[in-house]
Structure 1
Amino acid sequence: MRAIDVRHQGREKVICCWEVDGVLIDPGPGVTEETLLAALGGERPRALLLTHIHFDHAGVSGSLVRRWPDLPVYVHERGAPHMVDPSRLMASAGRLYGGDEGLRELWGEMVPIPEANLRVLEGGERDVEGAFRVEYTPGHASHHVCYFHEPSRWAFVGDVGGARIPPHDFTVAPTPPPDIDVEAWKASVARVRAWDPVALGLTHFGEARPEQLDRVLAALEAQVELEGRGDEATFVATMDERIRAGCGEDAESMIQATPLDQLHMGLARWRKKLGA
């Protein structure tokens, strides 16, 4: 069990790739490929397990397949088409990051993956790579899954478990657009809890104890309440204040992992869908 800090934009404790018996869970963005390869020491991973297809979790996957053409990549069925043809994903994300140039500067290249490399998941699978169970866990994204490593009883939860920068317990629920679903997120946390894990592997960032599931639910409720009573500027200023108080010297890592304007945008979009 190894947490690999891929050091996004040179900063520690922003994005974590997990390695479990040669399997990589959420290998990170394309821009951190060299850091990841150095950590692997040139060794080919057995497989990639993607919790979801957002750039910070999955962006480097196609580049790794290009390097190792027989590398299998596990991804939910809703996300699989975008890994084969990432053009729509990149166009959508470009609107958040200042166009194609800004997108590539922040996240790097996203290389298409041949369909033959994809192992498409629905949720409910067992014995993935001989050791993992899978649950479909929407809420942060409609294509999100979590993985339970049965030998160790660790759950690898992507963004469903929230963002927490150790050693601080302060937690942010990552709520970027376009498909935040608060009620689905709560149900997904319950699915992870039903595994009775001994520990959680977070992409942002590192190991957490099971009580992190309580923290992310509390964070989600707090952010929903904050978004509902103010505009984006008020939301961003308040979240910035809370993060700096809760994360201390690691506040910039949290803000980089969970851009504050996007937290508001995702919740505002969710509220609009509800007609609230």
Structure 2
Amino acid sequence: MSHGIHTIDTGFVRPQFDAAYLMVEHGRGAFIDCGTNHGVPRMLNALQDAGLAPADVDWLILTHVHLDHAGGAGELMARLPAAKVLVHPRGARHMVDPSQLWAGASAVYGESVMESTYGRLRPIPADRVVEAPAGHVVELAGRKLLCLDTPGHARHHLCVYDEQANACFTGDTFGLSYREFDTAKGPFVLPTTSPVQFDPDALHASLRRLVALKPEAMYLTHYGRVTDVERLALDLHAQIDAMVAIAHAAQQDGGDATQRHQRMRSALSDLYGTRARTHGWHGDRAALLEILGMDIELNAQGLGVWLDSTQERSR
């Protein structure tokens, strides 16, 4: 059963890479994540296809404020006259004033790349932003959605448990599962770090928190609905530990930060390639890098920042 849940491909990067969701209950709607500004027409088209008008949307729920999940929030909200944004307390200020998000990303990618990739971020009036601390329950036409504090990928990350569907909307907490890796054994999954806030212990705890709900399915932003939740959670736990070991080994091998980063990239490619082939995927290394190259780069960056921060704390 779909339980009124519609998957929307936001069009970011490539097909079936970046999902948002529309939940429909008794003629009312809630979006969960929204992609970038360029995905807003797709969000509105999905709404129309579901038989709803923009005024029928009560909520835009953001799992976190990274731009592939929330970059289009301001533009979308400008088209949803009755909706409010629900966001983790740590992320709320970035929706009201996205200048810090823009400045941080622009420092890495440059203004022109930001404009073309994401579009200019639009502020959301403070009275339309609702903070969702751990345990907060939001209702969509009487349908209760439980917000869970799920750090590890980011400190401002929440997941949403939908009791009616017995499913969680997990943003990046439950990792990445691209359909290109599906085999007879089911979906393949790998963790995703973030360049500044990866915390392996917190991510382990967040995964346990989600699995304890015994959900039938997880709705991932990257990408789509997956089942076989307990197996995938075990895979994620094992890979988080393996990634931490890779990071420590790269650090111990010495050299500068660039050399460390390259060692981590290579070792992560080996890790995911070996696991994908064990899962029954038959692609070669070039195919692996075509699908996962950007994620491997970001995971290596996230591990590097985590190593540096743990060293700082130990001094």
What's the counterpart of residue 115 of structure 1?
126
User: Displacement of 1:251 after TM fit?
Assistant: 5.8
Q: Residue deviations 1:237-274, cap 9 Å, x none?
A: 34345556636468644445x2x222112112112222
1:103 equivalent in alignment to 2:103: no
Specify the code of the residue in structure 2 equivalent to 1:63: E
What's the counterpart of residue 257 of structure 2?
none
Following the alignment from structure 1 to structure 2, what is the Cα–Cα distance between the partners of residues 133 and 264?
A: 32
Following the alignment from structure 1 to structure 2, what is the Cα–Cα distance between the partners of residues 175 and 4?
A: 24
Q: RMSD between aligned alpha carbons?
A: 2.1
Does the residue aligned with 1:74 lie in a helix, a strand or coil? Answer: strand
Contact 1:164/1:254 (8 A) holds in 2 = no
Report sequence identity in percent. 30
Q: Residue deviations 1:16-58, cap 9 Å, x none?
A: 1112212111111112222332332273233111110000111
What's the counterpart of residue 24 of structure 1?
31
Q: Which runs of 5+ in 2 are unaligned?
A: 251-259
Contact 1:159/1:204 (8 A) holds in 2 = yes
Instruction: Say which one has the larger Rg.
Output: 2
Specify the code of the residue in structure 1 equivalent to 2:205: A
Following the alignment from structure 1 to structure 2, what is the Cα–Cα distance between the partners of residues 134 and 114?
A: 22
Following the alignment from structure 2 to structure 1, what is the Cα–Cα distance between the partners of residues 8 and 114?
A: 23
Does the residue aligned with 1:172 lie in a helix, a strand or coil? Answer: coil
Alignment of 1:1-276 (within 5 A): 1-9=5-13, 11-21=14-24, 22-41=29-48, 43-44=53-54, 45-96=57-108, 98-129=109-140, 130-166=143-179, 167=182, 169-209=187-227, 210-211=229-230, 212-230=232-250, 231-240=260-269, 243=272, 246=276, 248=283, 252-256=290-294, 258=295, 260-275=296-311
Contact 1:172/1:219 (8 A) holds in 2 = yes
Following the alignment from structure 2 to structure 1, what is the Cα–Cα distance between the partners of residues 41 and 165?
A: 29
Following the alignment from structure 2 to structure 1, what is the Cα–Cα distance between the partners of residues 82 and 6?
A: 23
Q: Residue deviations 1:192-213, cap 9 Å, x none?
A: 1121111100000111121322
Q: 1:143 to 1:200 in 2, by over 3 A?
A: same
Contact 1:46/1:72 (8 A) holds in 2 = yes
Following the alignment from structure 1 to structure 2, what is the Cα–Cα distance between the partners of residues 254 and 5?
A: 18
Q: For CA contacts below 8 A with separation 6 or more, give which structure has more relative contact order.
A: 1
Following the alignment from structure 1 to structure 2, what is the Cα–Cα distance between the partners of residues 252 and 24?
A: 30
Following the alignment from structure 1 to structure 2, what is the Cα–Cα distance between the partners of residues 237 and 37?
A: 41
Following the alignment from structure 1 to structure 2, what is the Cα–Cα distance between the partners of residues 149 and 38?
A: 24
Please report the TM-score for the alignment, with normalisation by the length of structure 1.
Answer: 0.90
User: Displacement of 1:64 after TM fit?
Assistant: 0.9
Contact 1:165/1:254 (8 A) holds in 2 = no
Please report the TM-score for the alignment, with normalisation by the length of structure 2.
Answer: 0.80
Number of residue pairs matched by the alignment: 272
Q: 1:128 to 1:251 in 2, by over 3 A?
A: farther
Specify the code of the residue in structure 2 equivalent to 1:187: A
